[in-house]
Structure 1
Amino acid sequence: MKDKTLQVLVVDDDFRVAGIHASIVDQAPGFSVLATARTMAEAAVHIANSTPDLLLVDVYLPDGDGIELVRTHNIDALVLSAADDAHTVRRALQAGALGYLLKPFPQKRLVERLDSYARYRHVMSGSPGLSQEKIDQGLAILHGSQTTSANSRSATEQLLLDALQGQEISAAEAAEIAGVSRATAQRRLAAMANQGVVEVRLKYGQSGRPEHLYSRPEL
């Protein structure tokens, strides 16, 4: 089953900045902009009418403190602010923000955070009964670190290995299951095939290039 599109509410009093952030979100795979809001009051209306999956929130808003918006709503949030003092950063994290981006930042940085968040959501979804390994994996993805599993694989590689468990599939299918881009899946699977971590078989059709199918070797 394909993961749902994650809805994002962008909260920033500068409409130009909000528009830039909204454009980045709309271009990110698996995301769409629910709305943009310039005040706490506008944000509260959007949250009440249609709960977003993620908030992108500035700290300084005309009618209040964006960190309090994060604190008072049970919604995942990233704080995007020019406030560079340690007290504000700590307040944001204590309020429940999953991350803090200091303005101005390059577009690539927000894209990376959105990608990490999407993969984190993928790992932390599904049936109840998460293992400690899955929890550690999700947190490692969210914070851009590597898992501490015995095989020292990156979080992305472990997601792909999990996708291959008990089946032989293409890179595109593995990418959808793992919640990563097709290009990333192809690159990581090819590297692991060269290392002997996964097996690859060529499937020839009636015409065109053969399809690469990946699987985990039987122990």
Structure 2
Amino acid sequence: MPPTPPTPPTPPTPQETIDVLVVDDDFMVARVHRTFVERVPPFRVVGTAGTGEEAIRAVGELHPDLVLLDLYLPDLFGLDVIPRLRTAGHDCDVMVISAAREADTVRGAVRQGVVDYLLKPFDQEDLQPRLERYAARRGRLLATVVRGQADIDRALSAGPAPSTLPKGLSVETADLVERALRETSGTLSATECAAATGISRVSARRYLEHLHGTGAAAVTLRYGAAGRPERRYGWRR
């Protein structure tokens, strides 16, 4: 008998596109946020809206998977948009992007089931890891086959343990950067952190971004006369 030919490998399944609606009353800000989103695969912006009513109509027409929702809209408070979407039968996820810092507002957003809450102003480095975490969790939920509690726990997990360092980062240097942040009375830029620890600015930025990603460090933006804003890092006390 002739040998059985090998089974050809199964081609990889293309990554599912995640459709996004950007909601912001400032069209220039919406354009910037659209650019940020479309730099992160597999996200695709399918539309923008400038008011709460426009957002509700757009969700009905475009059926996005995720809505980036500003809260200070000219006709409706953003959190009032979410129950109207649910009443209309839309099951899209919502990520709040707003300057609203009030504790009651944040608690209200959590009660409404938002997947994340990002304070303005922010830049690409702030939004990208949140989108990536959302995409990973969405993928786990879509692929989950529940045989027991362990499967549910894996599907709902936020990802790897915060203490796990990315490839190329060392525990010793991470401790140095953490100590520099803890000991400063205010905030540090990557350049200032590099000078304080004796490592390069690029390395300092990587460690600072890791601490920010785990929630140990907060980021603020300092705007100058021209150019990109400076990212400044502070320890969350």
Q: TM-score range by the shorter chain?
A: 0.5 to 0.7
Cα distance, 1:50 vs structure 2: 2.0
1:49 and 2:61 are equivalent in the alignment: yes
In structure 2, which of residues 92, 100, 104 is the aligned counterpart of residue 75 of structure 1?
92
Please give the secondary structure, in 1, of the residue aligned with 2:95.
Answer: strand
Where structure 1 has 5 or more consecutive residues not aligned to the other structure, the ranges are: 155-219
For residues 105 and 63 of structure 1, what CA distance do their matches in structure 2 show?
Answer: 24
State the shift of 1:127 in Å.
5.8
Partner of 1:10: 22
Say whether the 8 Å CA contact 1:56–1:78 is kept in structure 2: yes
- The letter for the 2-side match of 1:84 is R
Larger Rg: 2
**C-alpha deviations, 1:56-78, integer Å up to 9, x for none?**
00011011011122233232111
User: CA–CA distance in 2 between the matches of 1:61 and 1:104?
Assistant: 16
Superposition map of 1:104-183 within 5 A: 104-126=121-143, 128-129=145-146, 131-141=148-158, 146=161
Shift of residue 16 of structure 1?
1.3
Residue 119 of structure 1 aligns with an amino acid whose one-letter code is A
Give the superposed CA RMSD. Answer: 2.2
**What secondary structure does 2:101 align onto?**
coil
**Paired amino acid for 1:26:** E
Distance in 1 separating the partners of 2:150 and 2:38: 32
Which residue pairs with 1:96 in the alignment? Answer: 113
Secondary structure at the residue paired with 1:28? Answer: coil
- 3-state SS of 2:94 partner: strand
Contact 2:146–2:152 under 8 Å retained in 1: no
Preserved contact between residue 56 and residue 84 of structure 2 (Cα < 8 Å) = no
Residue 173 of structure 2: aligned partner: none
Note if contact 1:140-1:146 (Cα within 8 Å) is conserved in structure 2. no
The residue type paired with residue 123 of structure 1 is R
Of the three residues 104, 107, 119, the one matched with 1:87 is 104
Query: Hey, what does 2:174 align to over in structure 1?
Result: none
| TM-score, normalization by structure 1 | 0.62
Q: 1:126 to 1:138 in 2, by over 3 A?
A: closer
Q: TM-score, normalised by structure 2?
A: 0.57
For the residues of structure 1 that align with 2:77 and 2:145, how far apart are their CA atoms?
35
- SS of the equivalent of 2:142 reads coil
Aligned to 1:25: 37
| 1:136-189 per-position Cα deviation (integer Å, ceiling 9, x unaligned) | 334332xx6629xxxx989xxxxxxxxxxxxxxxxxxxxxxxxxxxxxxxxxxx
State the number of aligned residues.
Answer: 148
Gaps in structure 2 of 5+ consecutive residues? 1-12, 86-90, 166-237
